[in-house]
A and B are shown apart, each in its own frame.
Chain A
Amino acid sequence: MLGSIKSNKFQYESQKLAMNYFRVAIVLFGAQLLMGLIAATQFLYPSFLFEVYDFSVARMVHINALVVWMLYAMIGSVYLLLPDETGIEAVGIKLGKLAFWVLTAAVTVVVLVYIFIQVGPGSEATIWLINEGREYIEAPRWADIGIVVVVLIFYYNVFATYMKGEKTGIMTVLVADLFALAGLYLCGMFFTSNISMDQYWWWWVIHLWVEATWEVFVGSLAAYGLIKILGAKREIVEMWLWIEVLMLFGSGILGLGHHYFWIGTPEYWWEIGALFSALEPVPLVAMFVHVLYDWGKEQGHAEAGQAGHAVKNSPAMAWIAINAFGNFLGAGIWGFFHTLPQVNIYTHGTQFTAAHGHLAFFGAYATILIGMMYLGVQRAYAIERMRMTFKTKMAIALLITGILGMTVSLTIAGYEQVLVERADLGGGWDAYFIAQNLPWMLQAMGWRLVMGLVMFTGFIFLVADLFTIGKAKEHAEQESVGAAAA
């Protein structure tokens, strides 16, 4: 992928820009995993890098890198599919390229400030220059405003290209979804003096991004992927996309209530949150069935020898299928079993949340974005049919083993916290530290670190594969064409 900087065969500048976004995304993905390993080590050995690189900083960079690499990969995915869907080049491509470099420079400065300047007294100036203080979206205010400007440029590009070019169902959904995604970020940019009200708006960014707009975004990417990889019929894929949008927004928007159980909002949120959260897995089941059905149907056509039905990019298809499973497992099962208020009062803020967070982010988002990167590589080298390599399979096996292992370890740790810290000891200060030092917790955290290393090894295979799979396939295709000509 990185090697395709000079050798790409894209027809559109927009798609070249997409690869730039993917390149930064993969670097930030690596940074995220590295920070996770440091934080996981500090759980076991609290003196590790103490006062050199504290847990609070490692955790913050771990989570921020996750959010930012996914946003980069999402913007890249949109630039990749934009000319395909609209039939034209992005209208403000020069502005888009400028925005990319501005954003990347800003992210670099923010990360350096995160790493080197985080200890000291807080003031109005630190909110503007160092850290805004909101968990997950800690970027200082200057960067916040910069992000809004860059996203406006990106949105202008998408919207104007959509208005000028062909208006497909996938693009219509994306244009509406990206408007909501960009607009919701504004809810995390102002402060109120009441912490309940502050948290109320903060969740509009966190929840409504992740459980509404990002899920719809994933549905759009899956629809595009199914058309490109399997040759699925656009009309049917788009019809299901609209139904998924209806179900995802129908359950996801008011599913927001499960974050309002304990922050001081009125108690009617218990019922609203419980009911709509319980419905949230339904669209995930529908998406799962949809991908599986289309895949199986096209495989059936291919096996029957019908032309034009072969899988055109098996690594990307594998990641999209893993996405269907992962979304259901991580967001569906791990979300559902602690989303009801009667249960959540005990599990809230324990490692259960971390288990759900890890599997849901990887299963629902990382997987499909990796699939889009493989689609980008295929286009960069103009490869007719892309097949999995040994490295692809190793990356899939290790990344999945790692994430499932981490999830199970964190679930065990969370269960110990529920029983000991919350149910038996009442959830106080002492209870927390007693639970943190029991063997179940320590062993679970040990396994989490081991599984994190497994995942990091998988990441190395993934990067190596993205680097080389395009060139290898290109050479193989050239050789087979040469042999046929001879």
Chain B
Amino acid sequence: MEPVIMLPQIAADEFLRIFVVATLVLVFGVGYAALITLSKMGLIPKRVAPFGYIFWILQAYCLYDLSVLIHSSPFTAKVLMVAMLAYFFAPHLYFYLIEQSEKRYGEAEES
């Protein structure tokens, strides 16, 4: 019989931590995007926006912690960290595109 491929086992008492950490990955991710968005909207002072990077760091740490807790392969762990780097630039790219499109269509309307 072919050997059965087994997934790494997770200790039962680590489940709660896994769920909490997985949730925090997304909560911190939204926190990072939200702080930058709110400052762009002028709802919070611009000086508060850099605190968003703290959320990003916490998110990156939580994702790393999650990959360790679920015994991800080294390759998957690296892919996740590259994804975090991409996410770092995502809100900036988002608002760059918004500003450029507003300039473009705003100018088109005026002319």
Q: A residues touching B (Cβ–Cβ < 8 Å)?
A: 233, 235-236, 239, 243, 267, 270-271, 274-275, 278-279, 281-282, 285-286, 288-289, 292-293, 296-297, 300, 328, 332-333, 336-338, 340-343, 345-346, 415, 418-419, 423-424
Which B residues lie within 8 Å of A274 (CB)? 76
Q: How far is the CB of A261 from the nearest CB of chain B, in Å?
A: 9
Q: Which of B19, B30, B38, B41 contacts A285 (CB 8 A)?
A: B30
Are B12's CB and A336's CB within 8 A? no
Complex Cα spacing A120 to B13, Å: 45
CB of B15 within 8 Å of the partner chain: yes
Q: A328-B30, A333-B23 are in contact. Are A289 and B101 (CB under 8 A)?
A: no
Which A residues lie within 8 Å of B1 (CB)? none
Which B residues lie within 8 Å of A279 (CB)? 83
Q: How far is the CB of A324 from the nearest CB of chain B, in Å?
A: 11
Q: List 29 A-B contacts (CB under 8 A).
A: A235-B101, A236-B98, A236-B102, A270-B7, A271-B76, A275-B79, A278-B80, A278-B83, A285-B29, A288-B30, A289-B33, A292-B37, A293-B41, A296-B43, A328-B26, A332-B26, A333-B26, A337-B18, A338-B19, A342-B7, A342-B70, A342-B72, A343-B15, A343-B18, A345-B7, A415-B19, A418-B12, A423-B15, A424-B12
Taking CB as reference atom, which chain B residue is nearest A281?
B26
Q: How far is the CB of B50 from the nearest CB of chain A, in Å?
A: 18
Are B15's CB and A419's CB within 8 A? yes
CB of B94 within 8 Å of the partner chain: yes
Which B residues lie within 8 Å of A343 (CB)? 10, 15, 18-19, 22, 70
For the A-B complex with A233-B105, A289-B37, A342-B71 known, give 13 more contacts whose Cβ atoms are closer than 8 Å. Answer: A236-B98, A236-B102, A239-B97, A293-B41, A296-B41, A296-B43, A333-B23, A337-B23, A340-B22, A342-B7, A343-B22, A415-B16, A418-B15
Are B40's CB and A293's CB within 8 A? yes
Q: How far is the CB of A461 from the nearest CB of chain B, in Å?
A: 29
Number of interface residues of B (CB under 8 A): 40
Q: Which 4 pairs across A and B sit closest by C-beta, in order of nearness?
A: A423-B12, A337-B22, A342-B70, A296-B41
Taking CB as reference atom, which chain A residue is nearest B98?
A236
Q: How far is the CB of A301 from the nearest CB of chain B, in Å?
A: 11
Majority SS at the chain A contact face: helix
Are B101's CB and A236's CB within 8 A? yes
Taking CB as reference atom, which chain B residue is nearest A293?
B37
Q: B residues touching A (Cβ–Cβ < 8 Å)?
A: 5, 7-8, 10, 12, 15-16, 18-19, 22-23, 25-27, 29-30, 33-34, 37-38, 40-43, 70-72, 76, 79-80, 83, 87, 90-91, 94, 97-98, 101-102, 105
Complex Cα spacing A205 to B90, Å: 31
Which B residues lie within 8 Å of A342 (CB)? 7-8, 10, 70-72
Q: How far is the CB of B22 from the nearest CB of chain A, in Å?
A: 4
Q: A275-B79, A293-B40 are in contact. Are A239 and B15 (CB under 8 A)?
A: no
Complex Cα spacing A418 to B12, Å: 8
Complex Cα spacing A274 to B70, Å: 11
Complex Cα spacing A354 to B87, Å: 30
Are A340's CB and B10's CB within 8 A? no
Taking CB as reference atom, which chain A residue is nearest B15?
A418
